[in-house]
Amino acid sequence: MNTFEYLLEHNIKPSVQRMAIMGYLDSHRTHPTADEIFNALSPTIPTLSKTTIYNTLKLFVQQGVAQSISIDEKNEHFDANTAVHAHFLCRKCNKIYDAFIKSKKLPGETELKEEGHKIDEAYIYYRGLCRECMEKELNKQNN
Amino acid sequence: MNTFEYLLEHNIKPSVQRMAIMGYLDSHRTHPTADEIFNALSPTIPTLSKTTIYNTLKLFVQQGVAQSISIDEKNEHFDANTAVHAHFLCRKCNKIYDAFIKSKKLPGETELKEEGHKIDEAYIYYRGLCRECMEKELNKQNN
DNA sequence: ATTAATATTTGTAATGAATACAAATTTAGA
DNA sequence: TCTAAATTTGTATTCATTACAAATATTAAT
Ligand SMILES: [Mn+2]
Ligand SMILES: [Mn+2]
Ligand SMILES: [Zn+2]
Ligand SMILES: [Zn+2]
């Protein structure tokens, strides 16, 4: 799937900036923040403005080519994967890990629907200590 | 369960301010923000400071007598119910509804544990249109 | 009861991510 | 080419949250 066509199919005019931001999001599945995207792209597009990053990401979310991840209190993160999937934030290294979902029924979903609410978005967030960080802590102790 | 004992059991010294904030959280299960709590309590405790609200809520979360709900991008919400349960935010009226969870296994949890991560917190968020708001919209059309 | 040490609260200043806004630039159409 | 619309940019602003230090309250020691 090429970025140009993908944006067009979602009614987003593929400008240089939009292509670059979508390209970055698609090739870096690390759930970057607006700031991280700006720092990554600004060397190659020196005129790039942070406002454009914010505007574009908002547009991407509206048009359904990205989702906003609010697992981190401090910063909004973004994900080119728009499918419903779980996220795990390591409180030590701040990395965000993906976890895919097997069952179709999400917890509490049926109850909410039975009460007559209409669900448009679903998010599953976990926080804790990732394997990598846990191993680092163990190595410290065994030295 | 009385508030005084409850705070003590969780190693929180029950000051007037802390009692009031815990009392409010416990009796208003509407997932209030720091600002809402301040506006509600400041008439009865005129010297109350907003900083105290923030400090106290942070302490409550640390000591496990409240949880922080980050379903709303704009404001942090708080909940005296510390059990893992789902939340539904209506994007029209901004009310946050509870939904209780039947199954013990949360989506993606097993996968994350198998990868060696240690999960400490779990959050399930939904967004959409609540029944009340949907009915209001229907009434508008049929007039 | 005084005093001193500690804990808590308060008010104000600072932070910083996100937004508002208007000017500048680019793109598309006549 | 000329014009209008769309997009981008830079700067100013917002506002929830935090930092900090002074003020007050609580507890412990003398
Ligand atoms: Mn993801
Ligand atoms: Mn709740
Ligand atoms: Zn980690
Ligand atoms: Zn509603």
pLDDT tens, position by position, A15-24? 999 999 999 9
List Cβ neighbours of B37 (8 Å cut-off, separation of 6 or more): B21, B24, B25, B53, B57, B78
Nearest-by-CA chain A residue for B73: A70
> Would you state the pLDDT for residue B28?
97
Give the residue with greater pLDDT, B113 vs A1.
B113
> Would you state the pLDDT for residue B70?
98
> Would you state the pLDDT for residue B141?
77
Expressed in angstroms and rounded, the spacing between residue A57 Cα and the centre of ligand 4 is 26
Tens digits of residue pLDDT in A38-58 = 999 999 999 999 999 999 999
Cβ separation of B115 and A131 shorter than 8 Å?
Answer: yes
- List chain A domain ranges: 1-82, 85-143
Tens digits of residue pLDDT in B39-69 = 999 999 999 999 999 999 999 999 999 999 9
> Would you state the pLDDT for residue B48?
98
CA of A49 to C1' of C23 (A): 14
CA separation, residue B52 to residues B14, B16, B34 (Å): 13, 11, 10
> Would you state the pLDDT for residue B11?
97
Q: What is the CATH number of domain B85-143?
A: 3.30.1490.190
Query: CATH classification of A1-82 is 1.10.10.10, yes or no?
Result: yes
> Would you state the pLDDT for residue B125?
98
Q: Which residues of A touch B109 (CB under 8 A)?
A: 86, 99, 126
On the question of a common fold for A1-82 and A85-143, the answer reads no
> Would you state the pLDDT for residue A7?
98
